[in-house]
């Protein structure tokens, strides 16, 4: 565990624990310093949500599970913050929906790529993609457009948690069906997504996995009905409404989910 002790009864326990995971991700070379800023921005929106999974987000997570199960070649994109916050959880999701994992970074270096791949493998992942980098996302300059040709390049459905808007738009233009996890309903990433999940990544990934396991025996027709019934615009509007009408408070609500106190931090 971290050498920083966080009392479990602290009203900001979940928030403080995730902050330390990001900090330790930076120390390990997994997360960029810009990731610290991104975490703070997302945390502000989560505070407005009441630090809980709202009903429309849960519906999106169920639709995401159905869409991933329907996919011919699903790929889960992993960046530094995802690797630091939910490494074991993203591996579990990949197993539940038979998806590839691919490391895809805005601030790409071979050292960071290798560190994240190694970190995911320490949490049970196999055959993590991203190191080959023999494909490109059209319209994106810089290394952020580099992907594996047989990974994201060939995927029909891509989960892109915590992504930037340019890349989300470019992937959509490639004809990919995108599932985006983002706490800001007004940002381009969820606005572009077929299935926007407005939820904290630490809740969203386990929730999608749970839904996928529940739907494992569903027929394609049943899965397609779940996807077709989901309305992305309504989900975005509902999240914005909750944020605008919510009440501020000093502590997370009783139904807010926190990481387990025994869960490993990013550098374990």
Contact 68, 266 (CB under 8 A): no
Contact 81, 35 (CB under 8 A): yes
For 224-261, how does the pLDDT look when each residue is reduced to its tens digit (9 = 90+)? 999 999 999 999 999 999 999 976 543 344 444 444 43
Q: Return the sign of the alpha-carbon dihedral for residues 72, 73, 79, 83.
A: positive
3-state secondary structure 176-235: CEEEEECCCCCCHHHHHCCEEECCCHHHHHHHHHHHHHHCCCCCHHHHHHHHHHCCHHHH
* pLDDT at residue number 246: 75
Q: What is the dihedral of CA 48, 204, 82, 40, to 10 degrees?
A: 0
Question: At residue 262, does pLDDT exceed 50?
Answer: no
Task: Give the number of other CB atoms < 10 A from CB of residue 99.
Answer: 22
Contacts of 257 (CB under 8 A, 6+ apart): 14, 52, 53, 202, 203
Alpha-carbon distance of 220 to 206, in angstroms, equals 22
* pLDDT at residue number 259: 41
For 90-147, how does the pLDDT look when each residue is reduced to its tens digit (9 = 90+)? 999 999 999 999 999 877 888 889 999 999 999 999 999 999 999 999 988 777 789 9
Contact 181, 79 (CB under 8 A): no
Q: What's the rounded mean pLDDT across residues 3-30?
A: 64
Contacts of 37 (CB under 8 A, 6+ apart): none
Note the pTM of the prediction, 2 decimals.
0.84
Q: 93: helix, coil or strand? A: helix
pLDDT higher for 81 or 251? 81
For 161-190, how does the pLDDT look when each residue is reduced to its tens digit (9 = 90+)? 876 788 889 999 999 999 999 999 999 999
* DSSP one-letter code for 36: H
């Amino acid at each position: 565990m971290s050498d920083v002790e966080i009392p479990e009864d602290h009203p900001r326990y979940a928030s403080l624990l995730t902050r330390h995971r990001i900090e330790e991700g930076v120390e390990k070379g997994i997360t960029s310093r810009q990731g610290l800023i991104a975490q703070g921005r997302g945390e502000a929106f989560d505070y407005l949500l009441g630090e809980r999974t709202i009903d429309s987000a849960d519906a999106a997570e169920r639709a995401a599970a159905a869409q991933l199960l329907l996919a011919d070649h699903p790929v889960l994109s992993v960046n530094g913050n995802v690797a630091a916050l939910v490494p074991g959880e993203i591996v579990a999701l990949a197993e539940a929906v038979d998806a590839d994992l691919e490391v895809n970074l805005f601030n790409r270096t071979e050292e960071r790529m290798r560190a994240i791949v190694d970190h995911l493998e320490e949490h049970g992942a196999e055959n993590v993609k991203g190191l080959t980098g023999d494909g490109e996302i059209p319209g994106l300059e810089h290394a952020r457009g580099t992907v594996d040709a047989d990974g994201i390049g060939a995927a029909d459905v891509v989960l892109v948690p915590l992504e930037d808007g340019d890349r989300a738009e470019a992937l959509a233009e490639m004809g990919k069906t995108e599932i985006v996890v983002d706490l800001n309903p007004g940002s381009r990433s969820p606005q572009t997504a077929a299935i926007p999940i407005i939820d904290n990544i630490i809740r969203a990934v386990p929730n999608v996995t749970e839904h996928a396991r529940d739907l494992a025996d569903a027929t394609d027709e049943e899965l397609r009905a779940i996807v077709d019934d989901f309305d992305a615009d309504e989900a975005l509007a509902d999240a914005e409404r909750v944020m605008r009408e919510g009440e501020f408070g000093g502590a997370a609500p009783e139904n807010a989910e926190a990481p387990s106190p025994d869960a490993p931090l990013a550098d374990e």
